[in-house]
């Protein structure tokens, strides 16, 4: 027994604390379970009482409707029964009608966009290619102008001086070119260009033409005199040839006579009638006559050679004249082309000294107001908002709506400047949509990018004008408009159920 007592397991204080803690947890769980059961019983009891209460009320309501009389119904309730029944029937009827309308009546569905009224051809930006000093300002902000009206005039002194200088050089070289063409083609007179002839009454132009005509005549006279001298030399040589030819003929005939006489003397010599000395003397005469013929032929050949050389001189003179003329003509044409380009450029600059309106419109965003101010190269001077161009609306279409928006869709338009209570909604049509998104250039750095598509909406002006005449309305560029682009039709029931079905679709979607 003592051994058993000594072998009894010993419980440490820590183990005892753990056992007590477990016992306490078990008691707590048992208590919580009892509380949960009590709560469930209480909830069931209250629910049962509520259902019983509702059933009693529903039974009384059904009895009130179905039974004309009831012993538990007081006189006030009995008297109010018919009006209450009538109201219930009216409510049921309205609910049924409203339900049918919401299920069947079509309502427009569309994409809502904010837009700006603007001319169909956009604003005209007025700039100047070279810039310059302002000499006069003819308009102010908001002025109405017509096409071709003066807007601003720039200082023209420098351009005008350079233009006159280049014009004088151009006229000189052009007249020189006309003269050289006449010399090249061996014309009797110069055919001056229309550019010169249109200003023939100007003293400076008349002087240029007179100078070129004198030069043309003098050069032609020098050339012709040199050529005539050579031709006269040829004529003189040809006359010498004629004389020598006659001399040759005479010498040839003399030689023939001497030859015939020599033959006769030789016959007589053979017969012994003449002496040898006479025969030798005759032979000498024959030889001398033949020598005269040969000498004359040599002189003729020499003169013919001189004629050939003179003819070559004439050809060389002509070639030299033509070559010199062509060289001068090429140089003149190069100078004329260069000066013409400068002249046209300066003429264009001079014409642009007065800046004119390209269209009928209203002056907007005028940036210069000071006489003597400097307009920089290519800088914007002002804008002209056209007034005769048809007005359209550029609307910003959200990216999420672009799949349902396309050209040809009908649009409903409201203008924020008009009273919405008295002004109806106007009709329009989508005529174009930008092929890609557009970024808002006016947003500040760091802001989230506002990207959208630009839809150009054409306003039904016939409809607008009918209302405008009655209500004295007028459209102006820059007015804000609310645009609803009609993309289809849906019933009211679909409007109410679509969010529910979409939410349910997302909620029950399997991951």
Domain boundaries, the chain: 75-103, 107-120+390-507, 124-155+353-374, 159-351
If pLDDT is split at 50, 70 and 90, which confidence band does 4 have? Answer: very low
Cα–Cα dist 21/15, whole Å: 10
Sole residue written with tokens 């209570």: 421
Instruction: Look at 265 and 195; give whichever has higher pLDDT.
Output: 195
Cα–Cα dist 349/259, whole Å: 96
pLDDT beyond 90 at 108: no
Mean pLDDT of 349-374: 90
Note the pLDDT tens digit of each residue in 61-80.
666 666 556 655 566 555 66
pLDDT at 65: 64
Spatial contact of 137 and 375, defined as CB atoms under 8 Å apart? no
Smallest CA-to-CA distance from 318 within 492, 142, 184 is with 184
Q: Residue 409 phi/psi, 5° resolution? A: -70, 150
If pLDDT is split at 50, 70 and 90, which confidence band does 2 have? Answer: very low
CATH 2.40.30.170 fits 107-120+390-507, yes or no: yes
Burial of 48 (0-12, 13-18, 19+ CB in 10 A): exposed
pLDDT at 72: 59
Instruction: Look at 1 and 298; give whichever has higher pLDDT.
Output: 298
| Structural tokens at position 424 | 């109806």
CATH 2.40.50.100 fits 124-155+353-374, yes or no: yes
List of residues 6+ apart from 414 with CB closer than 8 A: 420, 423, 425, 426, 481, 482
Instruction: Look at 240 and 9; give whichever has higher pLDDT.
Output: 240
Distance, CA of 46 to chain centre: 81
If pLDDT is split at 50, 70 and 90, which confidence band does 246 have? Answer: confident
If pLDDT is split at 50, 70 and 90, which confidence band does 173 have? Answer: very high
Mean pLDDT of 130-151: 91
If pLDDT is split at 50, 70 and 90, which confidence band does 181 have? Answer: very high
Average confidence score pLDDT of the chain: 79
List, in sequence order, the alpha helices (H) in 128-202: 157-184, 194-197
- DSSP 8-state class, residue 133: E
User: Can you list the pairs that 374-378 forms with residues at least 24 positions away whose Cβ atoms lie under 8 Å?
Assistant: 374/131, 374/132, 374/133, 374/134, 375/128, 375/131, 375/132, 375/133, 375/134, 375/152, 375/154, 376/131, 377/128, 377/129, 377/130, 377/131, 378/127, 378/128, 378/129, 378/131
Spatial contact of 387 and 147, defined as CB atoms under 8 Å apart? no
Q: Determine the CATH number of domain 159-351.
A: 1.10.287
Note the pLDDT tens digit of each residue in 373-424.
999 988 999 998 887 778 888 889 888 888 888 888 888 888 888 887 777 7
Cα–Cα dist 147/126, whole Å: 13
Cα–Cα dist 399/452, whole Å: 6
pLDDT at 259: 75
Mean pLDDT of 119-127: 82
| Structural tokens at position 115 | 């837009």
Give the H or E element holding residue 485.
strand 480-491
Cα–Cα dist 440/450, whole Å: 6
Cα–Cα dist 257/253, whole Å: 6
If pLDDT is split at 50, 70 and 90, which confidence band does 171 have? Answer: very high
Instruction: Look at 259 and 351; give whichever has higher pLDDT.
Output: 351
Sole residue written with tokens 């009538």: 86
Instruction: Look at 127 and 90; give whichever has higher pLDDT.
Output: 127
| Structural tokens at position 405 | 């928006």
Our CA angle for 208, 210, 211, nearest 5°, is: 65
Instruction: Look at 28 and 3; give whichever has higher pLDDT.
Output: 28
Spatial contact of 113 and 450, defined as CB atoms under 8 Å apart? no
Cα–Cα dist 93/154, whole Å: 80
pLDDT beyond 80 at 352: yes
pLDDT beyond 60 at 107: no
pLDDT at 145: 92
pLDDT beyond 90 at 168: yes
pLDDT at 213: 92
Instruction: Look at 290 and 308; give whichever has higher pLDDT.
Output: 308
Cα–Cα dist 202/200, whole Å: 5
pLDDT beyond 90 at 341: yes
Q: How many CA atoms does the CB half-sphere of 297 hold within 13 Å?
A: 9
Cα–Cα dist 281/183, whole Å: 66
List, in sequence order, the alpha helices (H) in 272-384: 276-351
């Amino acid at each position: 027994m003592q051994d058993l007592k000594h072998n009894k397991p010993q419980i440490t204080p820590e183990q005892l604390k753990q056992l007590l803690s477990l016992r306490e947890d078990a008691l707590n769980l048992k208590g919580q379970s009892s509380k949960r059961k009590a709560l469930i019983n209480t909830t069931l009891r209250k629910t049962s009482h509520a259902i019983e209460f509702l059933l009693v009320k529903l039974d009384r309501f059904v009895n009130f409707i179905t039974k004309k009389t009831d012993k538990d119904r007081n006189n006030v309730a009995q008297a109010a029964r018919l009006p209450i029944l009538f109201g219930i029937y009216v409510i049921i009827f309205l609910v049924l009608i409203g339900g049918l309308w919401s299920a069947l009546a079509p309502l427009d569905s569309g994409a809502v966009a904010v837009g700006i009224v603007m001319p169909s051809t956009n604003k005209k930006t007025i700039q100047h290619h070279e810039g310059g000093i302002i000499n006069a300002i003819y308009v102010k902000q908001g002025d109405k102008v017509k096409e071709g009206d003066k807007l601003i005039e720039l200082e023209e002194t420098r351009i005008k001086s350079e233009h006159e200088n280049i014009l004088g050089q151009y006229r000189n070289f052009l007249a020189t070119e006309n003269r050289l063409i006449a010399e090249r083609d061996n014309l009797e007179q110069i055919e001056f260009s229309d550019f010169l002839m249109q200003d023939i009454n100007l003293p400076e132009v008349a002087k240029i033409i007179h100078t070129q005509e004198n030069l043309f005549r003098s050069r032609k006279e020098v050339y012709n005199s040199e050529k005539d001298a050579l031709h006269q030399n040829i004529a003189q040589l040809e006359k010498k040839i004629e004389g020598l030819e006659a001399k040759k003929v005479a010498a040839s005939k003399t030689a023939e006579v001497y030859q015939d006489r020599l033959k006769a003397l030789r016959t007589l010599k053979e017969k012994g009638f003449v002496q040898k000395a006479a025969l030798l003397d005759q032979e000498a005469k024959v030889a001398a006559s033949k020598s005269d013929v040969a000498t004359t032929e040599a002189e003729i050949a020499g003169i013919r050679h001189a004629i050939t050389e003179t003819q070559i001189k004439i050809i060389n003179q002509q070639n030299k004249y033509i070559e010199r003329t062509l060289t001068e003509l090429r140089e003149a044409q190069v100078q004329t082309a260069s000066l013409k380009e400068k002249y046209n450029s300066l003429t264009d600059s001079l014409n642009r000294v007065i800046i004119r309106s390209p269209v009928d419109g209203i002056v907007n965003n005028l940036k210069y107001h000071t006489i003597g101010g400097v307009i920089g190269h290519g800088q914007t001077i002002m804008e002209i908002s056209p007034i005769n161009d048809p007005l359209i609306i550029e609307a910003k279409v959200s990216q999420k709506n672009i799949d349902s928006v396309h050209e040809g869709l009908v649009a409903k338009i409201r203008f924020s400047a008009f009273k919405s209570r008295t002004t109806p909604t106007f009709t329009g049509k989508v005529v174009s949509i930008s092929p890609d998104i557009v970024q808002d250039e006016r947003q500040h750095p760091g802001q989230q990018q506002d990207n959208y598509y630009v839809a150009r909406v054409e306003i039904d002006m016939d409809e607008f004008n009918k209302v405008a005449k009655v209500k004295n309305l007028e459209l102006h560029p820059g007015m804000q408009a609310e645009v609803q682009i009609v993309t289809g039709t849906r019933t009211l029931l679909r409007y109410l159920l679509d969010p529910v079905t979409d939410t349910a679709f997302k909620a029950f979607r399997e991951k």
